[in-house]
Amino acid sequence: MSIDWITVTAQIANFLVLVWLLKRFLYRPILGGIDAREAEISNRMQDAVTARDKAEAIEETYRDKVQALHVAQAEMTETIRQKAEQQRDVLLADAHAQMAVEQANWQAYLDGETRKYTAKMHGAGAGALLSLTRKALIDLADETLEAQMIRHLIQKIKPLAPKLNNASVQTATAVVTSHAALTDAVQNAVRSELQTEFPKVSVRFNTEALQAPGLVLRLDGVQVAWTVDTYIDGLEAMIADQLAKGPEMRAQSNGT
């Protein structure tokens, strides 16, 4: 065991050279690579942090926009709802008004139709009543209706006789008004019956289209009448009652 100092010197030189070589080819590249990679990772992390911050800012902006949109949507919805309610109220009011008008029109139409029907029935009923009454009188009593009517009028005017039996009435003109012109025979019969009670009264016959069938006697401000209206009124009441019952009866028949 000995120390070769030449070898020692050479080994010191070798070691120093090795230190320089490894510093040049090992430590610096490796440590530099590690530092560069750490810097790269740090940069990427910084980029990621920046990107995340940016994304969070964008997300925050987006959330604000969404919140603003929700608020605007709620306000718009409320406005639209209020407008819709107002419009609905207006439309309902219009509809109600239109319905009321149509109902009034329909009611007026129905009333008109009812009046027309009633008038038609009135006329038909009056005609039928007169015909039947006239026929019944002829068949049963061989009497004309007009004679019987004037006789009835005379009976009605008799209670007024004390007032009428004065000089002016005796010389007055009795006006007999009918719906249609009376035949001469009927006029003679009426005149005969009237002059039986009031001998000096002259008789004049008039026709009045608007008057109901029958006779109206006017004598010195006193008027008595027999028309079919009083009879026909009962018939009209019966027809109106039937018309009113019509929808209920139809409903009952549909239900059954």
Chain positions contacting other proteins, by CB under 8 A:
1-12, 14-19, 21-23, 25-27, 29-34, 36-37, 39-40
Sequence-separated (6 or more) residues with CB below 8 Å from residue 158: 197
Task: Compare residues 12 and 100 and give the one whose CB is closer to other proteins.
Answer: 12
Shortest gap between Cβ of 44 and other proteins (angstroms)?
Answer: 10
Shortest gap between Cβ of 21 and other proteins (angstroms)?
Answer: 5
Shortest gap between Cβ of 68 and other proteins (angstroms)?
Answer: 43
Strands (E), the chain: 173-178, 202-207, 214-219, 222-227
Task: Compare residues 32 and 246 and give the one whose CB is closer to other proteins.
Answer: 32
Task: Compare residues 6 and 167 and give the one whose CB is closer to other proteins.
Answer: 6
The one-character DSSP state at 221 is T
Shortest gap between Cβ of 38 and other proteins (angstroms)?
Answer: 9
Q: How many CB atoms lie within 10 A of CB 219?
A: 21
Question: Alpha-carbon torsion 181, 134, 192, 221, what sign?
Answer: negative
Shortest gap between Cβ of 20 and other proteins (angstroms)?
Answer: 9
Half-sphere exposure of residue 18, counting CA atoms within 13 Å on the CB side? 6
What's the rounded Cα separation, in Å, for the pair 83 and 90?
A: 10
Shortest gap between Cβ of 35 and other proteins (angstroms)?
Answer: 9
**Residue 142, Ramachandran bin (φ over 0: left; ψ between -120 and 50: alpha; else beta):** left
Task: Compare residues 9 and 86 and give the one whose CB is closer to other proteins.
Answer: 9
Which residues partner with 176 through β-bridges? 205, 217
What's the rounded Cα separation, in Å, for the pair 79 and 85?
A: 10
Task: Compare residues 39 and 93 and give the one whose CB is closer to other proteins.
Answer: 39
Selection from 196, 222, 85, 194 nearest residue 205 by Cα: 194
Task: Compare residues 37 and 70 and give the one whose CB is closer to other proteins.
Answer: 37
Q: How many CB atoms lie within 10 A of CB 176?
A: 23
Six-digit token string for 31: 């440590």
Task: Compare residues 9 and 103 and give the one whose CB is closer to other proteins.
Answer: 9
Shortest gap between Cβ of 5 and other proteins (angstroms)?
Answer: 8
